[in-house]
Amino acid sequence: MRGHGHVLINTPDIELWPGGLLRARSNADARALARARHVLRRKRDGRFLAADLPEGVLPLVHRLMREDGIDAALDALERIVDYRREGLLRVAELPLDRLEQRLDALGLDAADYQARTGLELIAEPDRLALAGFDRYRRPLWLHPAAARAWTHLRDAALREGIALESISGYRSHDYQLGIFERKRARGQSVDEILTVNAAPGYSEHHSGLALDIGAPGEPPAEESFERTPAFAWLRDHAGGHGFAMSYPRGNPHGIVYEPWHWRYAPPA
């Protein structure tokens, strides 16, 4: 399923989602979202903050103007017409702020982590394109260039009888931190988590250029994916569409073998 031109406007603390893609838990929010042209969504926990209605912005939380980053988000809301006029060609990067604070919360030193893994800080794009929906019917957001490439890759595979499913795409720095917090709450150590997940700020998913790929009926993000016809097809054809597997066996970053994780490298 294609994205039909939907665009997510990204700011450091708040995402601006196009209306019609989010489901509310309360009836009041659901009524507002049903009419919203855009929805302001807090990145750190997914909380709906405001709905952009034809008659104006409707706050969905108390003290909306005290929310971190609300001024930047409202400014971006006013510039959406300009974004549409420009199209998706001029994608910029968000500032890499507050990352040290996130790493400190995990007891990680940025310089030491970079030296040890060879990974570099990755900024988030200020705009993302809807590239259909993932296995769980969640909107799949990718960098516009990667969204187009993923669509071509998936369609090419399907013409040869191979079904590819997206498992996940873009993740914010805040979302990555949440992965660590949830796993630590289940008793895993930071070192254990780092063998599977890059530290916040260092995941290729932040760029919107990487996605995890699966096959129908196969468990997500498991090494067994390499034994599927889908992986065999990717191994032979993904490079022709600009995608490469980021973490092969024995990669120098200390991350486990991930046959499901592929990154799009735009032509220079």
Q: What is the pLDDT of residue 3?
A: 43
Please name the residue that has the structure tokens 């993932």.
134
Exposure string of 214-239, with b = 16+ CB inside 10 Å and e = fewer, is bbeebebbeeebbebebbebbeeebe
**Residues, the chain:** 268
Secondary structure (DSSP) of 2-62 = --TT-EEEE-SSEEEEETTS---SSHHHHHHHHH-SEEEEETTT--EEEEEETTEEEESST
pLDDT in tens, the chain (268 residues): 344 579 999 999 999 999 989 888 778 888 889 999 999 999 988 999 999 999 999 999 999 999 999 999 999 999 886 766 665 557 899 998 788 888 988 999 989 999 999 999 999 999 999 999 999 999 999 999 999 999 999 999 999 999 999 999 999 999 999 899 999 999 999 999 998 889 999 999 999 999 999 999 999 999 999 999 999 999 999 999 999 999 999 999 989 999 999 999 976 6
Q: Evaluate whether 65 touches 72 at the Cβ level (below 8 Å).
A: no
Structural domains in the chain, CATH included, are 7-86 (no CATH), 99-264 (3.30.1380.10)
Q: What is the pLDDT of residue 254?
A: 87
